[in-house]
Structure 1
Amino acid sequence: MSLNAQTRWHTFQSQEEINQAALNRILAAADAAIAKHGSFLIVLAGGSTPKAVYQLLAKADADWSKWHVYHNDDRCLPVDHVERNSKMARDAWLSHVAIPESQIHDIPAELGNVAGALAYSEILKGVRTFDLVILGLGEDGHTASLFPGQAVDNSADAVPVFNSPKPPADRITISQKRLNDTHEVMFLVTGAGKQEAVDNWRKGVAIPATLIQSPNGVDVYCFGVVLS
């Protein structure tokens, strides 16, 4: 796959700088969506960099009543497990602001990957195009729970993942097709461990992250990697 001309790369000089830029981008996207649609539909990523941004959002001033929150993936673990993306987002941010509970849509991964994916597809049914999808990048080039060497399943808006190369083996992910149905995409990529994946991406190697191609392109926010 050739390098998408609509992949825009942004580099930052510190963790604080990338966190602040991501915060500003999210709040600007929210303002624009609320002005246009009366609501803001955001899809969250797991991971340490998003967590730091969510902690900033917890202190931000926003029209929380208009926010609708989804997750790009989650692990099939108990609801209160420390490695659940939904628990991280609630602890860092969502439990501290006035987003109505009915507008926070956790993936019911505790049901197992098949039943949970079916349930989340029902939740996503009829939901308009997302406003902003936040994604991370794994050292192997994966994003959400779209992993190298695994078939791309676009049979539903949310799909089960089996045999994940990272534990736990069972996961649920929003499908590539549905993640691409968004106005904006922001990848948060930090740490030297991501260098090889970034190099491959920029060379046009078909890593899973390159599956995400929204109509308005993709913005990749980077800290700790060199863009050659």
Structure 2
Amino acid sequence: MNIQEYADREMLAIDVANALAGELEAALLHNDTVALAVPGGTTPGPVFDSLCAADLEWDRVRVLPTDERCVPADHERSNERLIRERLLTNRASVSQYIPLYVPGAEPEAALPEVESLIAPVLPLSILVLGMGEDMHTASLFPGMDGLDKALDSQAPTLIVARTDVQPEPRISLTAPVLDGALSKHLIIYGQAKRDVLDKAMSMPPEEAPIAAVLSGMTVHWAE
């Protein structure tokens, strides 16, 4: 794991966007298509604002969320909404988006359909993650039902996450899919999350799910 510190969040966003653009360009030299998995939430927005303008063959990039809330794509809590508004715009608007949530279907029933869309783009070329102060990443929450299955080396591509602390079920990429990305980036802000990350490094993934994906990770941190 490599931790890169930045003077401020604006500099972090610019530098991470440049790094991701460079990795995408390099991956496109050797592959017909590449897969970029990104989180929702507020943290990656500024990175997306810069990345979307990169001069790349975006029509060969497949973008998917690391996880998704089971809400309509125009819902304020939808990761797809953020990704479309902040990343799939400007030059990146020609990218193909792979959704995790199928409207109108029970999440568990829709998993085979969604997994069939994801299978051709694995392994992920580039992964961007966030982390909560509870040490969750994507929608792998400590203590949730099915976490052991999601962490297993033989886990399926996707899992439905249902927790008491979230208002709706979520669909998430599982630990081996996340950890199998060829390049991995974690973006965190503030001293509290830096302290949490330091703590998670010595904890088992069952208690700190982020620990399952830290090997080879580049961590980007700013206060």
TM-score (ref. length: structure 1): 0.86
Task: Indicate conservation of the 8 Å contact 1:142/1:209, yes or no.
Answer: yes
Give the corresponding residue for 1:3.
none
Large movers: runs of 4+ above 6 Å: none
Aligned pairs (5 A) from 1:76-95:
76-95=70-89
How big is the alpha-carbon RMSD for the aligned residues of Structure 1 and Structure 2? 1.9
Q: Deviations over 1:163-197 (max 9, x none)?
A: 252x2241000111111221110001112342441
Return the alpha-carbon distance in structure 2 between the equivalents of residues 81 and 52 of structure 1.
20
What is the identity percentage for the equivalent residue pairs of Structure 1 and Structure 2? 24
What letter matches 1:152 in structure 2? D
Counterpart position of 1:29: 23
Following superposition of structure 1 onto structure 2, how do residues 61-210 of structure 1 map, counting pairs within 5 Å?
A: 61-100=55-94, 103-110=96-103, 111-150=105-144, 151-154=147-150, 155-163=155-163, 165=165, 167-202=166-201, 204-206=202-204, 207-210=208-211
- Aligned equivalents of 2:180 and 2:210: distance in 1? 15
Question: Which residues of structure 1 form unaligned runs of 5+?
Answer: 1-6
SS in structure 2 of the partner of residue 178 of structure 1: helix
Unaligned runs of 5+ in 2: none
Whether the 8 Å contact between 1:57 and 1:93 is mirrored in structure 2 is yes
Task: Kindly state the Cα deviation for residue 127 of structure 1 after the two structures are TM-superposed.
Answer: 2.7
Change (3 A) 1:66 1:164: farther
Q: Which amino acid aligns with 2:5?
A: T
- Alpha-carbon shift at residue 201 of structure 1 (Å): 2.5
Equivalent residues, number? 213
SS in 1 for 2:109: helix
CA contact (8 A) 1:49 1:188 kept: yes
Query: Quick one: which amino acid aligns to residue 177 of structure 1?
Result: P
> CA 1:169/1:64 → structure 2, altered by over 3 Å: closer, same or farther?
same
Render the CA deviation track for 1:140-172: whole Å, top value 9, x for unaligned.
Answer: 11000011123232442011111252x224100
Give the distance between the partners of 1:77 and 1:85, measured in 2 at CA: 9
Quick check: 1:66–1:99 contact (8 Å CA) kept in 2? no
